[in-house]
Amino acid sequence: MTDAATDLKGGTPFTPQALDREARVYVAGHRGLVGSAIVRKLEAEGFTDVVGRTSAELDLKDRDAVFASFREVQPKVVVLAAAKVGGILANSTYPVDFLSDNLRIQTNVMDAALEQRVERLLFLGSSCIYPKFAPQPIQEDTLLTGHLEETNDAYAIAKIAGILGVQAVRRQYGLPWISAMPTNLYGPNDNFSPKGSHVLPALIRRYDEAAAAGASSVTNWGTGTPRREFLHVDDMADACLHLLEHYDGPAQVNVGTGSDVTIREIAETIAEVVGFHGGTEWDTTKPDGTPQKLLDVTKLAAAGWTSRIGLREGLESTVAWYRQHAGALRG
């Protein structure tokens, strides 16, 4: 057997290097928060053949359709950014959907990429893969050392399976696939839906609508004391390209800023940015989620990358984008 995977496994070790700007890059989930940022980054860096398929064109949960699409497209590089995502409410309410949909999306894309012997694949997960009470900042090797946060354990298990999928391909076929685990992301094309969004876009919408209505107060879930790390999605896209060109290894790489803030602090900053001058109440009957989730980014820094977009700067540009597109966003 002399396929590409066997040649790689038994031949010269892979060395990360600059990607061919004319190579076909398939971005699964190219219209989502992360995928759209990656497309913008690749095009800005001179990539001339970046492709994707909308959900109307291709249901990534349909295995036969995914295989047929990959046989047609024949990508040289794949970024797997497609996923069913949501905040605490969505994850708690629909765990079956988050587990089943994400497992099918990941497995179908990876298996189809394997059939095409795609040499370079980047799988994107989430920092929720780590134990609820992992030592802070969270190092990559704390994976599977404790219990997950119960409000998003189904999604986390699916993403852990994706990491193992990458590692299994590396072991069995020798293909230099990699995984990256971003912290909480925000920016253009985020989901600002009241029922489906993560904490930061939910706060932006809540405070902006309150400011427009002249409301006297806003009520947020929980105590406001949990600490969270936030990374602008354009920084994430930059990190993805950097890892594709500079990193090779079986372990997932944390992608974050290395610093965090409390939910109360981020709420206060958003209130200032949108111009809301009322008060903030905290509904302590609602769950807080993980007390702290700060990623150790030592491995990422060793690979030569650090974040560039400050939180205040990122929030201001995201609020401006939200206001420009509010009429067309999901309800």
Alpha helix positions (H), 94-152: 95-115
171 is in an annotated binding site: no
Q: Is 30 annotated as a binding residue?
A: yes
Tell me which of 155, 186, 207, 322 is the catalytic residue: 155
Sign of the torsion angle spanned by Cα atoms 215, 217, 218, 219: negative
Is 315 marked as a binding-site residue? no
Residue 36 labeled ligand binder:
no
Question: Helix, strand, or coil here: 59?
Answer: coil
Annotated binding-site residue? 184: yes
Closest CA to 123 of 90, 77, 89, 92: 77
Sequence-ordered list of residues with C-beta below 8 angstroms from that of 305, at least 6 positions apart, any chain: 238, 239, 242, 243, 246
242 annotated to bind ligand: no
Active-site annotation holds for 155:
yes
d(CA 111, CA 106): 8
Q: Does 258 carry a binding-site annotation?
A: no
Q: Is 126 annotated as a binding residue?
A: yes
For residue 307, say whether it is annotated as part of any ligand binding site.
no
> 3-class DSSP state for residue 6?
helix
- Cα separations in angstroms, 107 against 12, 45, 72, 150, 202: 28, 29, 19, 24, 30
Q: Is 125 annotated as a binding residue?
A: yes
- Do β-strands 217-221 and 184-186 pair in parallel, antiparallel, or remain unpaired? unpaired
The pair of three-digit structure tokens given for residue 59, joined into one six-digit string: 């249901």
User: 261-262 and 178-182: which strand pairing?
Assistant: unpaired
- Is 244 known as a binding-site position? no
Helix (H) or strand (E) holding 221: strand 217-221
Confirm whether residue 121 is marked as ligand binding. Answer: no
29 annotated as belonging to a binding site for a ligand: yes
The burial of 313, by beta-carbon neighbours within 10 Å (0-12 exposed, 13-18 middle, 19 or more buried), is given as exposed
Q: Is residue 107 marked as binding?
A: no
188 annotated as a binding-site residue = no
Q: Is 305 annotated as a binding residue?
A: no
**C-beta separation of 27 from 47 below 8 A:** no
**For residues 200 and 187, what is the distance between their CA atoms, to the nearest angstrom?**
9
> What residue numbers does the annotated binding site cover?
29-35, 124-127, 159, 182-185, 198, 206, 221, 228, 288
> What residue numbers does the annotated binding site for NADP(+) cover?
29-35, 124-127, 159, 182-185, 198
Q: Which residues are catalytic?
A: 155
> What residue numbers does the annotated binding site for substrate cover?
206, 221, 228, 288
